[in-house]
């Protein structure tokens, strides 16, 4: 169906089309809408290598044609996925309104991954919007997803950003762009909700079997694999959110269509890293109730997993009441799992491996102190790791010294606690003011700051004194800092 372009023969793609075999209701097969004048803004050569792709010998114009979707490989079946989702608690039928999966690719590790274009034009799911994306937000997704990856947090990744040579209309005209996103799949809680909402039990069962085979093959032959699937997703998602909490990451739009079955972070719209610790931090301009605030993320993942559970009821038992009771039993420990994984993570942040009864109080006292003193979240842990270059007066206060004395006595009982802390507490996170500045410049054609920031976030756990501007506590009032969805 698509144009064949020479470079694909050298690209190393091992094309698969497994999702395309699912029932038709899950997708619309179509090509991307070509763009005028694509130009490569950034290519992730390191990721390409990991995936077994070869770009080095392909010139940038050809790469621009490929990563804009203007030219497609011969055997690909591009498609937009259909799904539903609770957006800020309200259920809606959705779908890829501005994305198309170009193809799946079999990696050298024998894993199937999706290669998807974001910003590739209108689809039947665009709901009146233009199907396009702007350069700044696509570079932002590139940067933030790479940051999470290097922080050791499961995430979709970014292979390329090309500008399109076209303007898109927002409040002001903006430079258009397309991001190439790589994911272990794009199946969401909302994909299951979609099949359930259509009362299509056959499609729901096929989606389940497909998801199990792709993500949890170890449970494929188990008789209760619906329940095991639910539990596996629950565990992966709890681990993910606990990891976000560890580094002060606020996703910003945890709608059920943005919660994956794979447990990867997806959809980098209004996300940001918190500076000063405040459990209620919200940056998203549209999150007026604080539904997706930093501290509410564990509650929301609980809520989202319950929505996944509901969508599976039809596969458990004809008798709805019985099905609900079976499901409830299977995930009855969800709250306690969230709390204990969170506590464990916080203990690791302060160097404690095997908890003692008083340790929980030590964690809560520290968080209370941080909240009251507006201490920088990441740098508080850096300071405890003896990075005394973090010259922040807040650590000279009596209240902090008091806590630190108690903590010092406690960690004396731990072996190599500093080494352990260094593995979980980053020195470098993409600080909001640096991100905004780098994106502003990149949008004007100056990509240097963006590239420098990428370099720094690629190695977040090792201290390098020359990167002072990236690790110092910013002297910026972020009370009015705002981020935006879907621009
Ligand atoms: P998000 O908030 O990014 O998860 O998007 C929610 C839904 O809106 C998804 O189905 C998107 O595909 C769709 N969407 C967002 N921006 C656009 C756009 N510019 N054109 C068409 N659909 C969009
Ligand atoms: Mg989304």
Atom of ligand 1 nearest to the CA of 131: 20
Give the number of the atom of ligand 1 that is nearest the alpha carbon of residue 255.
Answer: 4
CA of 272 to the centre of ligand 1 (A): 19
* Alpha carbon of 92 to ligand 1 centroid (Å): 12
Q: Which token pair is 264? A: 């990867």
Q: Which residues have a Cβ under 8 Å from the Cβ of 168 and sit 6 or more positions away?
A: 130, 132, 133, 134, 174, 175, 176
- Distance (Å) from CA 152 to ligand 2 centroid: 22
CA distances from 384 to 114, 368, 389, 390, 474 (A): 41, 16, 11, 10, 18
Task: Give the side-chain half-sphere CA count within 13 A for 415.
Answer: 1
* Displacement of CA 72 from its chain's centroid (Å): 27
Ligand 1 pocket, mutate which of 126, 174, 181, 258 (most atoms under 8 A from CB): 126
Q: Using a 6 Å cutoff on CB, does residue 94 contact ligand 1?
A: yes
What's the pLDDT score for residue 477? Answer: 76
The best mutation among 85, 92, 117, 129 to test binding of ligand 1, ranked by most ligand atoms within 8 Å of the C-beta, falls on: 129
Give the ligand 1 atom nearest the CA of 99: 12
Q: How far is the CA of 21 from the centre of ligand 2 (A)?
A: 23
pTM of the model: 0.97
Q: Is the CB of 176 under 6 A from ligand 1?
A: no
The residue contributing the CA closest to ligand 1 atom 5 is: 486
Predicted local confidence at residue 392, as pLDDT: 86
Ligand 1: does its nearest atom lie under 6 Å from the Cβ of 34? no
Catalytic residue of the set 31, 96, 257, 287: 257
Residue-level pLDDT at 55: 86
Nearest-CA residue for ligand 1 atom 19 is 131
If 0-12 CB within 10 Å is exposed, 13-18 middle and 19+ buried, where does residue 408 land?
exposed
How far, in Å, CA of 377 to CA of 366, rounded? 11
pLDDT at 93: 97
Walk along the chain (487 residues) and give the pLDDT tens digit of each residue: 344 455 676 789 999 999 999 999 999 999 999 999 999 999 999 999 999 999 888 999 999 999 999 999 988 999 999 999 999 999 999 999 999 999 999 999 999 999 999 999 999 999 999 999 999 999 999 999 999 999 999 999 999 999 999 999 998 999 999 999 999 999 999 999 999 999 999 999 999 999 999 999 999 999 999 999 999 999 999 999 999 999 999 999 999 999 999 999 999 999 999 999 999 999 999 999 999 999 999 999 999 999 999 999 999 999 999 999 999 999 999 999 999 999 999 999 999 999 999 999 999 999 999 999 999 999 999 999 988 777 788 999 999 999 999 999 999 999 999 999 999 999 999 999 999 999 999 999 999 999 999 999 999 999 998 999 999 888 877 777 898 886 6
Answer whether 96 contacts ligand 1 (Cβ < 6 A): yes
Tell me what pLDDT residue 125 has: 98
**258 in ligand 1 pocket by Cβ < 6 Å?**
yes
Closest among 98, 123, 105 to 159, alpha carbons compared = 105
- Ligand 1 close to Cβ of residue 253 (< 6 A): yes
Cα Rg, the chain, nearest whole Å: 23
Ligand nearest to the CA of 94: 1
Query: For ligand 1, is residue 308 a contact (CB within 6 Å)?
Result: no
Cα–ligand 1 centroid distance for 487 (angstroms): 9
Query: Residue 295 is encoded by which pair of tokens?
Result: 């501290």
257 is catalytic: yes
Domain map (residue ranges) of the chain: 8-186, 219-427+471-487, 432-470
Residue 253 phi, psi dihedral angles, 5° rounding: -150, 70
For residue 74, the model assigns a pLDDT of 87
Q: State which ligand 1 atom lies nearest to the alpha carbon of 133.
A: 19
Nearest residue by C-alpha to atom 22 in ligand 1 = 97
Query: Ligand 1 within 6 A of 98 CB?
Result: yes
């Amino acid at each position: 169906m698509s144009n064949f372009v020479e470079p694909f023969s050298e690209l190393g793609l091992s094309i698969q089309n497994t999702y395309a075999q699912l029932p038709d209701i899950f997708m619309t097969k179509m090509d991307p809408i070509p763009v005028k004048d694509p130009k490569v803004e950034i290519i992730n050569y390191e990721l390409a290598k990991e995936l077994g792709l070869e770009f080095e010998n392909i010139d940038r114009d050809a790469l621009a044609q490929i990563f804009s979707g203007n030219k497609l490989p011969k055997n690909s079946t591009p498609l937009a996925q259909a799904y539903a989702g609770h957006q800020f608690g309200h259920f809606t039928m959705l779908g890829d309104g501005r994305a198309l999966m170009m193809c799946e690719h079999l990696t050298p590790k024998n894993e199937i991954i999706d290669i998807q274009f974001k910003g590739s034009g209108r689809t039947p799911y665009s709901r009146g919007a233009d199907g396009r994306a702007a350069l700044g937000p696509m570079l932002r997704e590139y940067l933030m997803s790479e940051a999470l990856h290097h922080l050791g947090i499961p995430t979709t990744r970014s292979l390329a950003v090309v500008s399109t040579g076209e303007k898109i209309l927002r409040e002001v005209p903006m430079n258009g762009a397309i991001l190439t996103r790589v994911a272990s799949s794009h199946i969401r809680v909302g994909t299951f909700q979609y099949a359930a909402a259509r009362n299509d039990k056959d499609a729901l069962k096929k989606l389940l079997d497909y998801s199990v085979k792709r993500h949890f093959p170890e449970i494929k032959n188990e008789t209760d694999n619906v329940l095991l699937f639910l539990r596996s997703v629950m565990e992966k998602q709890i681990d993910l959110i606990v990891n976000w909490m560890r580094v002060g990451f606020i996703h910003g739009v945890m709608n059920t269509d943005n919660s994956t079955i794979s447990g990867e972070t997806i959809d980098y719209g209004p996300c940001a890293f918190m500076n000063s610790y405040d459990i209620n931090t919200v940056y998203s301009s549209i999150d007026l109730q604080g539904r997706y605030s930093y501290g509410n993320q564990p509650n929301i993942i609980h809520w989202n997993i319950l929505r996944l559970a509901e969508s599976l009821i039809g596969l458990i038992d004809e008798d709805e009441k019985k099905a609900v009771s079976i499901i409830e039993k299977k995930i009855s420990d969800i709250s306690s799992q969230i709390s204990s994984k969170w506590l464990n993570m916080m203990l690791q942040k302060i160097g404690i491996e095997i908890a003692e009864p008083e340790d929980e109080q030590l964690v809560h006292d520290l968080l209370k102190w941080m909240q009251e003193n507006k201490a920088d979240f990441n740098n508080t842990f850096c300071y405890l790791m003896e990075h005394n270059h973090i010259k922040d007066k807040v650590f000279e206060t009596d209240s902090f010294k008091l806590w630190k004395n108690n903590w010092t006595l406690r960690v004396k009982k731990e072996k190599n606690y500093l080494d352990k802390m260094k593995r979980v507490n980053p020195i470098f996170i993409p600080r909001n003011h640096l991100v905004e500045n780098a994106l502003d410049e990149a949008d004007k054609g100056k990509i240097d700051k963006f590239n420098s920031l990428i370099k720094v976030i690629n190695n977040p756990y090792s201290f390098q004194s020359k990167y002072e501007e990236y690790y110092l506590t910013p002297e910026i009032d972020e009370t009015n800092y705002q981020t935006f969805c879907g621009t």
